[in-house]
A and B are shown apart, each in its own frame.
Chain A
Amino acid sequence: DTAVSQTPKYLVTQMGNDKSIKCEQNLGHDTMYWYKQDSKKFLKIMFSYNNKELIINETVPNRFSPKSPDKAHLNLHINSLELGDSAVYFCASSQGPYGEDTQYFGPGTRLTVL
């Protein structure tokens, strides 16, 4: 059984378009995250939600908007896509929002903006 799943796995789109990435976890965790991994493989946290409430909101353009319909899902919507948005986006989840809770990562979504 997949613990943290993301769709789609690959996303190729034109500049200016709006796209969404979906994430679901079946671990019963309360906290979910979005990370961005750039072309140099650097991983940076973007957002985290605990029980559908936003708790981490890093310096991310407001074109990025996370939405958590329930605690098992955290979707990422991106407006007006730019070339610099090309990256691999990872969803993750943990039991709680505390620093010591293991974060389980999904397989990633490779976004390419042309």
Chain B
Amino acid sequence: GENVEQHPSTLSVQEGDSAVIKCTYSDSASNYFPWYKQELGKGPQLIIDIRSNVGEKKDQRIAVTLNKTAKHFSLHITETQPEDSAVYFCAASRGWGKLQFGAGTQVVVTP
């Protein structure tokens, strides 16, 4: 089955700096890669996703890149703000809604 590895497990950044989280996946048939943000005491919320026929996608301060050959994808957050502090999860799916999640990255943005 699919295995998703996520790094780093924790990430501390100064407000205004950029944050990068990287994930690798094992199943070459995976074709959908969402990123979720989970704030304390809440459920995960989708922030951006990318499909296998696209190499990069951007939404304001958030961007995701996908390298299908190397089987890795990354989340980039620019101009970080304190409200970006949360746990971020990458996931991969080959279909039927079966998301395989990474272990999560705790992002702390310090003012």
Residues of A in contact with B (beta carbons under 8 Å apart) = 4, 31, 33, 40-45, 48, 55-56, 90, 92, 94, 96-108
How many residues on the B side are at the interface (Cβ–Cβ under 8 A)? 25
Q: List 13 A-B contacts (CB under 8 A).
A: A4-B43, A40-B103, A41-B87, A42-B104, A43-B101, A92-B43, A97-B96, A97-B97, A99-B95, A99-B97, A99-B98, A101-B97, A108-B43
Q: Which residue of B46, B51, B89, B104 is within 8 Å of A102 (Cβ)?
A: B46
Chain A neighbourhood of B93, CB < 8 A: 99-100
Q: A105 with B97: in contact, given A41-B87, A41-B104 (CB under 8 Å)? A: no
Q: Which residue of A40, A56, A96, A106 is within 8 Å of B98 (Cβ)?
A: A56
CA distance A42 to B87 in the complex (A): 11
Are B103 and A41 in contact, with the CB atoms below 8 A?
A: yes
Are B104 and A55 in contact, with the CB atoms below 8 A?
A: no
Q: Which residue of A40, A45, A104 is within 8 Å of B99 (Cβ)?
A: A45
Are A105 and B99 in contact, with the CB atoms below 8 A?
A: no
Beyond contacts A45-B98, A99-B93: 5 other A-B pairs, Cβ-Cβ < 8 A, are A43-B44, A43-B101, A97-B96, A105-B36, A105-B43
Q: A56 with B96: in contact, given A41-B87, A99-B32, A100-B32 (CB under 8 Å)? A: yes
CA distance A43 to B89 in the complex (A): 9
Are A90 and B104 in contact, with the CB atoms below 8 A?
A: no
A-facing residues in B23-71 (Cβ within 8 Å): 31-32, 34, 36, 38, 41-46, 49, 51
CA distance A5 to B97 in the complex (A): 20
Chain B neighbourhood of A102, CB < 8 A: 34, 46, 49
Chain A's closest residue to B96 (CB) is A97
CA distance A24 to B109 in the complex (A): 34
Are A56 and B103 in contact, with the CB atoms below 8 A?
A: no
Are B96 and A108 in contact, with the CB atoms below 8 A?
A: no
Q: A107 with B96: in contact, given A44-B101, A100-B51, A102-B49 (CB under 8 Å)? A: no
